[in-house]
């Protein structure tokens, strides 16, 4: 299964000191939702007075339904490349649902491009959603309402072949886009059009982030050393792997392993 890695607490020490980040899998939603995540302030002197920190959001091809509770924002957002300087206040409480790539389009009928590298307010997608009533709830009650809403959104539906595609591709990422076209039995033009609508990505971008996330999963899981990953993630050579990794994380694989071990 495609389960992208988000590690803001490892990539930014100030984040780790000020914010608690957690993820939870809900089996009742797993056809469309990878996980629910939550960010809440840690009870420290700094968080009580509030500091601005960077939340490093690693590219993963997902579109999340995001709630910035204290700012009263709820909507869909995705990022096609890593955001190293997404500013948040350490006192802000946030939660979200990380949707599978392709799930946003299947559940809303909208092109994924509407929410990729953008913020799409939920009220513009679902006119029946009462934003004011939602934010009138306490944070704990809003969490319950958020889960109820996700249950209604999924509504017993089954994921289609595109919502399941990243799960399949992540098991053995194609080496090149031509291999992807052959595997899917689409022409390059068809694939470009379908990926733009379903994922808000080009096929090449999708392959790059699947390959990168595969490496990140292996490294943070302690399953292999950097030199052992090339065949797993179908990188051509080690220098290509290291360049791609540093572009997406800001660290080399060796630096990430060291920092992850220090955090653990």
pLDDT given at position 134 = 98
| pLDDT at residue 189 in the model | 95
Residue where a domain terminates, one of 131, 154, 177 = 154
Same domain for 17 and 121, yes or no, is yes
93: in domain: yes
Same domain, residue pair 13 and 137: yes
Residue 245 inside a domain? The answer is: yes
Report whether 66 contacts 74 (CB < 8 A).
yes
Residues 134 and 172 both lie in one domain: no
Q: What is the CATH number of the domain that holds 172?
A: 1.10.10.60
Between 50 and 132, residue with greater pLDDT: 132
pLDDT for the residue 8 = 93
**Cβ atoms within 10 A of the Cβ of 129, count?**
15
Percent of the chain with pLDDT over 90: 68
pLDDT confidence of residue 221: 78
Tell me how far apart the alpha carbons of residues 210 and 167 are, in angstroms, rounded to a whole number: 10
Residue 203 has pLDDT above 70, yes or no: yes
103 and 208 in a single domain? The answer is no
Neighbouring C-alpha atoms within 13 Å toward the C-beta of 10: 22
Comparing CA positions, the residue from 161, 209, 167 lying closest to residue 186 is 161
Do both 20 and 143 map to the same domain? yes
- Residue 2 lies inside a defined structural domain of this protein: no
Residue 212 has pLDDT above 70, yes or no: yes
Q: Are residues 150 and 24 in the same domain?
A: yes
Same domain, 79 and 98: yes
Examine residue 160 and state whether it is found in any structural domain, yes or no: no
Angle separating helix axes 238-249 and 253-263, nearest 10 degrees? 50
**Within 13 Å and on the Cβ side, how many CA atoms surround 157?**
16
Indicate whether 159 belongs to any domain. Answer: no
How many domains is the chain built from? 2
Confidence band of 49 (pLDDT split at 50, 70, 90): low
Q: 47 or 14: which carries more pLDDT confidence?
A: 14
Contacts of 40 (CB under 8 A, 6+ apart): 19, 20, 93, 94
Same domain, 123 and 36: yes
Of 154, 182, 214, the residue at which a domain comes to its end is 154
> 67-88: per-residue pLDDT in tens?
999 999 999 999 999 999 999 9
Domain boundary among 154, 173, 190: 154
- Token readout for 86 is 């997404």
> Are 66 and 93 contacting, i.e. CB atoms less than 8 angstroms apart?
no
* pLDDT given for residue 50 in this prediction: 74
Give me the pLDDT at residue 264, please.
Answer: 67
Question: 31 in a domain, yes or no?
Answer: yes
Q: What is the pLDDT of residues 242-260, one digit of tens each?
A: 888 888 888 888 888 888 8
Asked whether residue 188 is domain-assigned, the answer is yes
Mean pLDDT of 11-29: 93
Domain extent at residue 81: 8-154
Beta bridge partners of 198: none
Are 245 and 212 in contact, with CB atoms under 8 Å apart?
yes
d(CA 130, CA 121): 12
Judge whether 102 lies within some domain.
yes
Number of Cβ atoms within 10 Å of the Cβ of 132 = 8
**148/138 Cα distance (integer angstroms):** 15
Res. 214: pLDDT tops 90: no
Confidence of residue 172 (pLDDT cuts 50, 70, 90): confident
Residue 131 and residue 257 share a domain? no
Answer yes or no: do 146 and 170 share one domain. Answer: no
Cα angle 7, 9, 12; round to 5: 105
- Distance between CA atoms of residues 60 and 127, nearest Å: 28
- pLDDT, tens digit, for every residue of 84-141? 999 999 888 999 999 999 999 999 999 999 999 999 999 999 999 999 999 999 999 9
Q: What mean pLDDT is reported for the chain?
A: 90
In this structure, the answer to whether residues 69 and 135 fall within a common structural domain is yes
In this structure, the answer to whether residues 121 and 173 fall within a common structural domain is no
Whether 34 contacts 4, CB under 8 Å = yes
């Amino acid at each position: 299964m495609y389960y992208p890695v988000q590690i803001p607490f490892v990539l930014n020490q100030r984040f780790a000191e000020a914010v608690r980040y957690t993820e939870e899998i809900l089996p009742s939603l797993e056809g469309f939702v990878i996980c629910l995540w939550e960010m809440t302030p840690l009870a420290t002197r700094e968080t009580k007075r509030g500091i601005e920190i960077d939340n490093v959001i690693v590219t993963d091809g997902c579109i999340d339904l995001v709630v910035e509770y204290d700012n009263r924002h709820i909507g869909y957002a995705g990022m096609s490349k890593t955001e190293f300087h997404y500013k948040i206040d350490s006192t802000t409480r946030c939660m979200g649902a990380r949707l599978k790539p392709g799930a946003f389009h299947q559940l809303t009928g909208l092109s994924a491009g509407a929410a990729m590298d953008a913020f799409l307010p939920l009220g513009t997608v679902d006119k029946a959603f009462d934003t004011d009533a939602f934010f009138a709830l306490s944070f704990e009650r809003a969490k319950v309402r958020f889960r109820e809403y996700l249950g209604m959104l999924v509504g017993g539906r089954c994921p289609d072949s595109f919502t399941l595609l990243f799960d399949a591709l992540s098991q053995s990422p194609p080496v090149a886009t031509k291999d992807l076209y052959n595997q899917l039995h689409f022409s390059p033009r068809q694939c470009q059009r379908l990926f733009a609508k379903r994922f808000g990505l080009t096929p090449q971008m999708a392959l790059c982030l699947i390959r990168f996330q595969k490496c990140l999963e292996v490294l943070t899981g302690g399953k292999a050393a950097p030199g052992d990953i090339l065949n797993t993630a179908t990188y051509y050579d080690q220098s290509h792997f290291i360049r791609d990794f540093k572009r997406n994380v800001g660290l080399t694989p060796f630096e990430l392993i060291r920092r992850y071990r220090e955090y653990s």
